[in-house]
Structure 1
Amino acid sequence: MGQKRIGILTSGGDCAGLNAVIRAVVHRAVGTYDWEVLGICRSTLGLMSSPPEVITLDIDQVDRLLTMGGTVLGTTNKGDPFAFPLEDGSLRDRSEEIISGYHQLGLSALIGIGGDGSLALLRRLANQGGINLVGIPKTIDNDVGCTERSIGFDTAVNIATEALDRLHFTAASHSRVMILEVMGRDAGHIALNAGIAGGADIILIPEIPYSLEKVCDKIRDRQSKGKNFSIVIVSEAVCTLEGNPVKNMDRFGECRLGGIGQYLAEQISISSGAETRVTVLGHVQRGGIPSSLDRLLGTAFGVAAVDLIADGKYDQVVTWQNREVVSVPIAEAIGQYRAVDPNDTLVKTARGLGICLGD
């Protein structure tokens, strides 16, 4: 088959399971095909550097990675390479620098691990610069199209579920409404899955409009039955009663979702008289030791991605469908945003349990 040199990078937000992918790619590429694997540091920023910022990955080096969170290669979720922000505030198209870095390294192919935004940018770079790209979906939001699961989602759900488990005791001890705000950007998968698994009484997700009255009715109904506390889990993407997302602006002028939990706490307290407390998990959901499922998924995806390169199949992304790894065109995956379907089995399950979804 001949010697190949392939590159691998992680792009976008970090999550648990990325290092398991890197480990699997190296095992398959080096151990089976006798290829060379270069890890590209800091995503596309590493390819922008001159010379490109890379490390050679071997099996002994990656064997310790299976249980590690984050990504040993580093990542970035800032700086569109087609409109890259400079220190003077201007924007520059630096795409050709990235493409030049790929060819300068003599890579036969590139494995890009990212969410829908990262995969879209990488595909655009690949089409422009003749890069042989294979994608692997990762996002704790689980919103990449065509795949039932993305790397990082299961660990995030486990962390949110554990938080709900812990909140139950303090909520009951103080007769409070405890609100847990979780990540989710535009999708409510984390809130829905963790809410059911963690025994939440109320689950609020952006795909299902809510009524404050219905939420407070649920709390009062529990109180009338002698249940002096309630547990609410809410996705950060849920809007205010006026339909506006709750955002905070950082010192760099970037707006980020966050704050809906505190907003709801105030509204619930005013409307129901209940004492409320808020916990915001934030980046805790991204960190920590990856779950067994994220390790398995990452490993299966890594092996499959290398096999696609061996078969000369590019512009593909590996996905998980019906307990199998199936490759689909990247354009198809990023073209089908995967939000929660209001008729989803888990939505029906939540309703069947009497969980209030706010509607």
Structure 2
Amino acid sequence: MEERQPTVGIFVGGGPAPGINGVIAAATIEARNRAWRVLGLYDGLSWLAEGITTQTRNLRIRDVSRIHGTGGSILRVSRRGNVHEPEIRKRVLAGISRLGIDALISIGGDGTASAAAALAREGDGLRVIHVPKTIDNDLPIPGGFSTFGFQTARHIGVELVEHLMEDAKTTGRWYLVITMGRDAGHLAMGIGKAAGATVTVIPEEFDSDRIGIEDLALPIEGAIIRRLSEGRRDGVVVLAEGLARKIDPATIVDEACVQRDNQGNLRLSDLPLGNVLRSHLNKTLEARGIDINMTTKVIGYELRCAPPIPFDTEYTRELGFAAMRAVRKETPSGVVCRVDGRIQVVPFADMIDPATGRMPIRMVDTQSESYMVASRYQIRLRKSDLDDPERRARLALASGLDEASLVKRFQTIAVKDHWFGEETHVGLRDEGDGTSRA
């Protein structure tokens, strides 16, 4: 009797990220070279969740040999198919069995990892190897290593912000740039730091879970005032979209900028953060006779399906190979990660919080040297600016406030010089832009 050919299924959950096709290609080529059949599942688990098993594709080497440098996903993606619901999980596992799938490779973020762990736990011997992806870089990869797709998203985001910085300088305006980052500020900080943005603001900067719109606006207002005191009317602020989730709705008074539900409550998920912030800043500055040209720009979806840069092309080839190697060697289910320079499979139990059933969110470490360096090259008001009589006088003139009012307004957000790691005595004009292109 002819021996049955083992089958590995591959599916992609969550949103797109550069490099998905690289994982699919690497896993498929390794599988086919090892005499495994590869079955790609279209649209994540959504069809299996409905009991439909026809939305699949047999993958051969010739189907994937040149897709590693392309964006998007040849299997598409989907967030549908909640396997934590018993009936849906039962249909998905039944479909996997009917398709003759012996093991699964899942590609996705924390939600997909949670689904993969559930299938492995309830799948009666089904092994699931998960490849983590997100451009938000907020999954707890050991050693702080990035998730695939992040470096490409940052690379493209930096190019866009650099173009906006040149436009800002040419036209004499400020840009408020909102980047993806539902919870953490890794993408915003990575873009802002590499591009030399004037200011970058992320959720981790604020200790409280709830902040007022004024709390968010004040550091930006301080940067604008500082630039005005230097004779500059331009700048670029990079903000993580997750800041919107921290804002107390009661502090937003501009009804034209926001949507409300049937009960009159703000819909924070639809909050146009840039427009709300611009409106607040304009009103505040105009009340003191300061006219600033300010424009908002959202950088998000254009990053997700970009062709991967060489870093992610190489990285995803390693991840896809390691995922299939784990399948072939019958490694216990888990998450493929780079650990101490090697690609390994970390058990789901070590990656998923049992209290939530999901991977913990990796936030930006605001005590790290990386964050300190990023902050040092931003244009922010410093305590020494308010303490120095000459600088304080220039700032007061630029702000439309008297010196006492200036100090009172900004003393709580003025950055202490020792916060940057050492005492500094650089003056405003000597310091210039803070970066050669800001």
- Determine if the TM-score, normalized by the shorter chain, exceeds 0.5: yes
Q: CA deviation at 1:2?
A: 8.2
TM-score between the two structures when normalised by the length of structure 2: 0.74
One-letter amino acid matched to 2:165? H
Partner of 1:151: 148
Name 1:187's counterpart in structure 2: 184
Q: Which residue of 2 aligns with 1:11?
A: 13
Partner SS, residue 64 of structure 1: coil
Deviation at 1:318, TM superposition (A): 0.8
1:123 to 100, 117, 121: 117
In structure 1, the residue matched to 2:227 is 222
Q: CA deviation at 1:247?
A: 8.3
Cα distance 1:241–1:296, how it changes in 2: closer, same or farther (>3 A)?
closer
Deviations 1:145-188 (A, max 9, x none): 13421122112111211111110122112211111111101011
Q: Given that residues 7 and 111 in structure 1 are in contact (C-alpha distance below 8 angstroms), is that contact kept between their aligned partners in structure 2? A: yes
**Are positions 1:176 and 2:162 aligned together?**
no
Structure 1 gaps of 5+ residues are: 84-91
Match of 1:339 among 353, 363, 367: 363
Give me the whole-angstrom Cα distance separating, in 2, the residues matched to 1:50 and 1:241: 40
- Structure 1 residue 140 displacement after superposition: 0.9
Instruction: Indicate how the Cα distance of structure 1 residues 258 and 23 shifts in structure 2: closer, same or farther if over 3 A, else same.
Output: farther
- Aligned residue in 2 for 1:20: 22
What amino acid maps onto 1:206 in structure 2?
Answer: P
CA shift, 1:208, in A, is 1.0
In structure 2, the gaps of 5 or more residues are 207-214, 262-266, 354-359, 382-412, 416-438
Supply the AA of the counterpart residue of 1:262. Answer: N
Cα distance change of structure 1 residues 73 and 167 upon mapping to structure 2, 3 Å threshold: same
* Higher helix proportion: 2
Among 70, 77, 96, which residue is 1:68 paired with? 70
In structure 2, the CA distance between the partners of 1:218 and 1:255, relative to structure 1 (3 Å rule), is closer
1:78 equivalent in alignment to 2:80: yes
Contact 2:46 2:80 in 1 (8 A): no
Structure 1 residue 303: deviation in Å?
0.4
Aligned equivalents of 1:332, 1:139: Cα separation in 2: 19
Tell me if the contact between 1:7 and 1:107 (Cα under 8 Å) persists in the aligned partners. Answer: yes
Asked if the contact 1:25–1:302 (Cα under 8 Å) also holds between the matched residues in 2, the reply is yes
Aligned equivalents of 1:24, 1:344: Cα separation in 2: 35
Note if contact 2:203-2:246 (Cα within 8 Å) is conserved in structure 1.
no
Deviation at 1:289, TM superposition (A): 1.2
1:1-359 paired onto structure 2 within 5 Å: 3-31=5-33, 33-48=34-49, 49-83=51-85, 93-130=87-124, 131-147=126-142, 148-209=145-206, 211-239=216-244, 242-244=247-249, 256=269, 258-272=271-285, 273=290, 274-335=292-353, 336-356=360-380
Q: Whole-Å Cα distance in 2 between the matches of residues 249 and 140 of structure 1?
A: 29
Higher share of residues assigned strand? 1
Distance 1:347 1:101, change over 3 A: same
Identity across the alignment (%): 28
State the one-letter code of the partner of 1:341.
D
CA, structure 1 residues 248+23, in 2 after alignment: closer, same or farther (shift >3 Å)?
Answer: farther
User: What is the TM-score of this pair, normalised by structure 1?
Assistant: 0.89
Contact 1:185 1:257 (8 Å CA) reproduced = no
SS of structure 2 residue aligned to 1:339: coil
Contact persistence 2:177–2:299 (CA under 8 A): yes
> For 2:364 and 2:101, how far apart are their aligned partners in 1?
38
- Could you tell me how far apart the structure 2 residues matched to 1:263 and 1:164 are? 21
Q: Distance in 1 between matches of 2:46 and 2:246?
A: 40
Q: Which residue of 1 aligns with 2:402?
A: none
Query: 3-state DSSP class of the match of 1:94?
Result: helix
Q: State whether residues 18 and 148 of structure 2, in contact with CA within 8 Å, keep that contact through their aligned partners in structure 1.
A: yes
Question: Equivalent residue for 2:429?
Answer: none
Task: Report how many residues are paired.
Answer: 347
